[in-house]
Amino acid sequence: MTEVAPAIVWFRDDLRLSDNPALDAAACRDRPLVCVYVHDSKPGGRRLGGAAQWWLHGALAALEAALAAYGGRLTILHGGEEPSLVPLAIACQASAVFWNRRYDEAGRQVDERVAAALAGQGIEVGTFIGHLLREPWEVTNRAGAPFRIFTAYWRAACQRDAPATPLPVPQSLRFHGLRENSAIRPVALASLRLEPHGPDWAGGLRADWKPGEAAGQACLEAFIAGGIDGYGIGRDRPDRPATSRLSPYLRFGHVSARQVWHAVAAAQEAGRAKAEDVLKFLAELGWREFCYHLLLHQPDMAQRNLQSRFDAMPWRDDPAALHAWQRGRTGYPIVDAGMRQLWATGWMHNRVRMIVASFLVKHLLIDWRHGEAWFWDTLVDADPANNPANWQWVAGSGTDAAPYFRIFNPILQGEKFDPDGAYVKHWLPELRLMPTAFVHKPWSAPRDVLAMAGLRLGTDYPHPIVDHAAARARAMQAWRSTEAS
């Protein structure tokens, strides 16, 4: 009996079974499936940072288990994507290969080459939108050009039809009994060495996160049940569990943007979420869409200022200050708490991300690219679009940027958004006995207060590495120099 030619589903940043258009299209062909993930240790694009690699290991393990529950397996290949996928398709005599589109330049170039090579072998190719609500090229201004300002982009996007209804897991999944041969050499997940090896720095990540589709869906459900109420105001409070924490699950595709959109909209329709909270949250999802809109049209935005006048910015080369910032030793508690949360858990509250980024770029006058690279290596949700776009927004060099002269005062930011100092005291236990009046500026406390708190400035906790007023004046002078150039 002739074996039915299989269809290949190529998983990338869509590590889930539900609302996976590529998987759904393959299953609808009523052909046995080969589910594959190709790990390229030397990609043409940007290699994943350490925290994201840790997450990817857990994500692939979860996908392996999910497929096994349906009687299938995940075939993991190690090597270049094109020289791995095309021989696989030929060797198993695949009738078609399906994948969900990606939008970084290197990834798109690989996809084009793979599609051409497969077509040359007479193998059908099907690609779909699975990572975003809308394709980045779909929303344009009246002249047909890309948007540069988020508010205008989001206004235009919201005038379009609502995102399509999410797809369920296909009712029928059957799998191809892939036989190994010289062209097909699957590897074990452990052989990719994505987890840390000596020392093991991921203990905090394991304690805080569980990768995978089931965990992502549980996170979304928990947010709808208890987090979205009051989101519009609470989202700026790092001392409260008032954000969704969905970012890494979206980054690796454990939940889709469409699933999130429709779950939030359904909560509003059912009276479980207020309109103002829903609109604010969906705008955050819209910002993610806008970042991909920028990435499509500005593919090098992790390296290049989107406003060229910032090329003249007199950045400082200060390794000691950069190291103090990275390790949470700047002497400004809200900054240090955020950086220590990042180091421990691979994640940081969004308001604090803005504060620490502003501090690096404006107080320390260090090039935003150093901060972007540090976040890329330490964030579990490090995203090729969001990460550079957010850094350029804070730096003032982006297309839709906060003005450079908007310089966050880290003391006032801490007092406003962490008024009792609970967030700071959690991540800086050396300040746990500081009175609220001084927790965001311990250097201003009288000696007797410091003594009662058991705090020795300069020993237990550093003095500020830069004076706020002086740093602000220096930043403004540097910005004016770019205006004059």
> What distance in Å separates the CA atoms of residue 341 and residue 95, rounded to the nearest whole number?
48
- 257 alpha-carbon distance from chain centroid: 13
Q: Which residue, 354, 368, 249, is CA-closest to 303?
A: 368
Q: Are 450 and 366 in a shared domain? A: yes
Tell me how long the chain is: 485
Please report which helix (H) or strand (E) contains residue 124, including its range.
Answer: strand 124-128
405, pLDDT greater than 90: no
The alpha helices in 420-459, defined as continuous H runs, are: 422-427, 447-452
Residue type, 101: R
In a domain, 172, yes or no: no
Backbone angles phi, psi at 238, to 5 degrees: -70, -15
Q: Are 219 and 103 in a shared domain? A: no
Of 287, 409, 430, 443, which residue is the catalytic one?
287
**Is-catalytic flag, 287?**
yes
Q: Are 352 and 468 in a shared domain? A: yes
Residue finishing a domain among 297, 329, 351: 297
Q: Are 419 and 292 in a shared domain? A: no
Q: What is the mean pLDDT of residues 23-34?
A: 95
Tokens matching residue 62? 């979860």
In a domain, 315, yes or no: yes
Q: Are 249 and 346 in a shared domain? A: no
Of 350, 409, 430, 443, which residue is the catalytic one?
350
482 vs 173, residue with greater confidence: 173
The answer, yes or no, to whether the previous bond of 199 is cis (omega within 30 of 0) is yes
pLDDT of residue 219: 98
Tokens matching residue 94? 């695949």
pLDDT of residue 485: 62
In a domain, 268, yes or no: yes
- 71 alpha-carbon distance from chain centroid: 31
Q: Count CB-CB contacts under 10 A for residue 113.
A: 13
pLDDT of residue 42: 78
Q: Which residue, 448, 145, 89, is CA-closest to 297?
A: 145
Question: Which single residue is written with the structure tokens 């927790």?
Answer: 439
Of 368, 374, 376, 393, which residue is the catalytic one?
368
308 vs 484, residue with greater confidence: 308
Please, how many CA atoms are within 13 Å of residue 74, restricted to the half-sphere of its CB? Answer: 25
408, pLDDT greater than 60: yes
CATH number at residue 449: 1.10.579.10
The alpha helices in 252-317, defined as continuous H runs, are: 257-269, 275-297
In a domain, 200, yes or no: no
Of 105, 195, 284, 430, which residue is the catalytic one?
284
In a domain, 364, yes or no: yes
Query: What average pLDDT does the chain have?
Result: 95
pTM (two decimals): 0.96
Task: Name beta bridge partners: 239.
Answer: none
Q: What is the mean pLDDT of residues 442-453?
A: 98
> What distance in Å separates the CA atoms of residue 439 and residue 437, rounded to the nearest whole number?
6
> What distance in Å separates the CA atoms of residue 334 and residue 427, rounded to the nearest whole number?
9
Q: Are 278 and 323 in a shared domain? A: no
Of 347, 376, 391, 393, which residue is the catalytic one?
391
In a domain, 302, yes or no: no
- Residue 229 CB partners (closer than 8 Å, separation 6+): 272, 273, 274, 277
> What distance in Å separates the CA atoms of residue 387 and residue 393, rounded to the nearest whole number?
10
pLDDT of residue 182: 60
**Is-catalytic flag, 315?**
yes
Per the structure, the count of domains in the chain is 3
pLDDT per residue as tens digits for the range 53-82: 999 999 999 999 999 999 999 999 999 999
**Is-catalytic flag, 350?**
yes
Contact 377, 55 (CB under 8 A): no
In a domain, 170, yes or no: no
In a domain, 422, yes or no: yes
Q: Are 456 and 324 in a shared domain? A: yes
Residue finishing a domain among 87, 106, 130: 130
pLDDT of residue 226: 87
Q: Are 293 and 339 in a shared domain? A: no
What is the DSSP code (8-state) at residue 440? Answer: T
Q: Are 227 and 354 in a shared domain? A: no
155, pLDDT greater than 50: yes
CATH number at residue 244: 1.25.40.80
Q: Are 34 and 80 in a shared domain? A: yes
Q: Are 122 and 6 in a shared domain? A: yes
CATH number at residue 120: 3.40.50.620
334, pLDDT greater than 60: yes
Residue finishing a domain among 297, 330, 365: 297
pLDDT of residue 273: 94
Of 315, 409, 430, 443, which residue is the catalytic one?
315
The boundaries of the domain holding residue 234 are 132-164+212-297
Confidence band, pLDDT 50/70/90 cuts, at residue 1: very low
Tokens matching residue 484? 């004059």
pLDDT per residue as tens digits for the range 157-201: 999 999 999 999 999 899 998 876 666 889 999 999 999 988 899
117, pLDDT greater than 50: yes
305, pLDDT greater than 70: yes
> What distance in Å separates the CA atoms of residue 371 and residue 93, rounded to the nearest whole number?
47
Q: Which residue, 133, 134, 127, 132, is CA-closest to 100?
A: 127
Q: Are 151 and 61 in a shared domain? A: no
- 361 alpha-carbon distance from chain centroid: 20
> What distance in Å separates the CA atoms of residue 58 and residue 380, rounded to the nearest whole number?
11
Percent of the chain residues topping a pLDDT of 70: 98
